[in-house]
Structure 1
């Protein structure tokens, strides 16, 4: 499966609790599309949220985020990474 990084804009003031709830909403339905959301990061000042996932396609990621109530503005494949 491919890793994807997606970006959400316009989430100024997001709190830790709100980020956790949004991530939990994704996790609750991710298996329906074969997606696994690994991690999320947020910058409350800029309102930018980033999510890292493994999925069969960017469209699968898009569908999960839309159904969970927070559509992604960008979804990009991550072909290379180092840890």
Structure 2
């Protein structure tokens, strides 16, 4: 299954609980698209959030995020890992 990293904007001032709520929203519907969100990170100063996931396609990742309320167009497949 391909691995993806995506980037979100607009999380300025969000705390750990807010990031967890966004992540939980993804987890609640991820199976409907065959996606699994592994981990999420946040920089509340820049407002950037990052997610690591696996799934069948970039579009599947985007659909879950959009439905969960925090869509993004920045989804990158990561085919090489060490």
Q: TM-score, normalised by structure 1?
A: 0.96
2: CA distance between counterparts of 1:28 and 1:68? Answer: 9
Distance, in Å, in 1 between the alignment partners of 2:38 and 2:72 is 16
Q: How far off is 1:14 after superposition?
A: 1.0
Instruction: Please state if 1:38 is matched with 2:38.
Output: yes
- How many Å apart are 1:11 and its aligned residue? 1.1
Aligned-residue CA RMSD in angstroms? 0.7
2:22 corresponds to: 22
**Count of aligned pairs:** 82
Runs of 4+ in 1 over 6 A off after TM superposition: none
Give unmatched runs, 5+ long, in structure 2.
none
Q: TM-score, normalised by structure 2?
A: 0.97
